[in-house]
Amino acid sequence: MVVGAGQRFACGASTTQCCLHGPQRPPIMTGRAERRERGTVSADGERVIALRGADFVPLFEGVAHVTRFAPSPTGYLHLGHAYAARFAFEAARLSGGRFLLRLEDLDPQRCRPEFAHAILEDLRWLGLFWDGSVVRQSQRLALYRQALARLEALGVLYPCFCTRKQVREEIARMGDAPHGPAGEAIYPGTCRALSEQERRRRIARGEPFAWRLDVERALAHTGPLSWYDVRAGWVEAKPELLGDVVLARKDAPASYHLAVVVDDAAQGVTLVTRGEDLFHATHIHRLLQALLGLPVPIWYHHNLVGDASGRRMAKRNGALSLRHMRARGVSPEAIWQLLGLGAASARPRCASVPAS
């Protein structure tokens, strides 16, 4: 649905009234003063902050969102997960939509059943109940193989025989190797120039390889693309910023990029909510959607939660787990207070539908 000028939202404001940022930004309306600006609170001895200002729940008149929370069972959930899950839950519930749960368990070395069980337990404890069955990526490998086959048929994949160590060494030799938007070094394209004969020979010899997306050829196939983020507005897709990403390896039948695009489409997700650290990944995701002929959702990249030093909470950083806090007697209500979240009805919650 597209909202035209003068149409009204659930808050009562029209598209011409409901704007805080001027005509160059999507119209936004905030409710009472729960604008999660930069602030600190304590959580069992740790200080917690929202790394960015004001999130709001995007409610579009007549639109029921289908959202999802998709953690990896490689550790216990922490406060950052609680924020992300609550955000997706509210966007679905307040719009009369559906909130789905997916476990991204494609890494057999790091994913463990006890972590998967704990995720379900923690969400129930928080009162965030999902709709339908839990989807597990490890049970959907056939879907990813089909997507890879389609991309291969389009001629936009190539085998890469470089090990991770070789890629690092090649980048170090280059000195001025290109870097991605987050400062990460991107693949220099070493195997892209191999002849078809050389590729076949090395595959026949049994050399391990990964499938990489040839971004330049893919863009030649799709033409210019764009995507819509509720906070950022219309964004020109620039997947070349991330280089020729890996879509599958021998030890990983689908990368995050491929699996998330295939699964969001298969589950009917219409609003992808996730942390702003994944904002630039959307460039690649939009390209894959176009190549695979998949429906295009809208995105909302929300605040990250971090410690007092500004470092975002992550399992690898030893973030305090919800399981630990619960064992210490912390209540779900206290979790929401720590994160600056009040009752759903008190939160900023209005936005415009993007014009197509």
Q: Which residues are known catalytic residues?
A: 315
Is residue 8 within 8 Å of residue 17, measured between CB atoms?
Answer: no
**Using the 8-state DSSP alphabet, how is residue 333 labeled?**
H
Phi (first) and psi of residue 132, to 5 degrees:
75, -170
DSSP run (H or E) holding 84: helix 79-94
Coil, helix or strand at residue 266: helix
As a whole number of angstroms, the distance between CA 301 and CA 61 comes to 21
Q: What single-letter amino acid sits at 318?
A: G
Is residue 248 within 8 Å of residue 148, measured between CB atoms?
Answer: yes
Is residue 272 within 8 Å of residue 84, measured between CB atoms?
Answer: no
Task: Count the residues in the chain.
Answer: 356
Helices (H) and strands (E) in the chain, counts: 10, 15
The alpha carbon of residue 22 and the mean position of all alpha carbons in its chain are separated, in whole angstroms, by 28
Q: How far apart are the first and last CA of the chain?
A: 9
Pairing of strands 271-275, 298-302: parallel
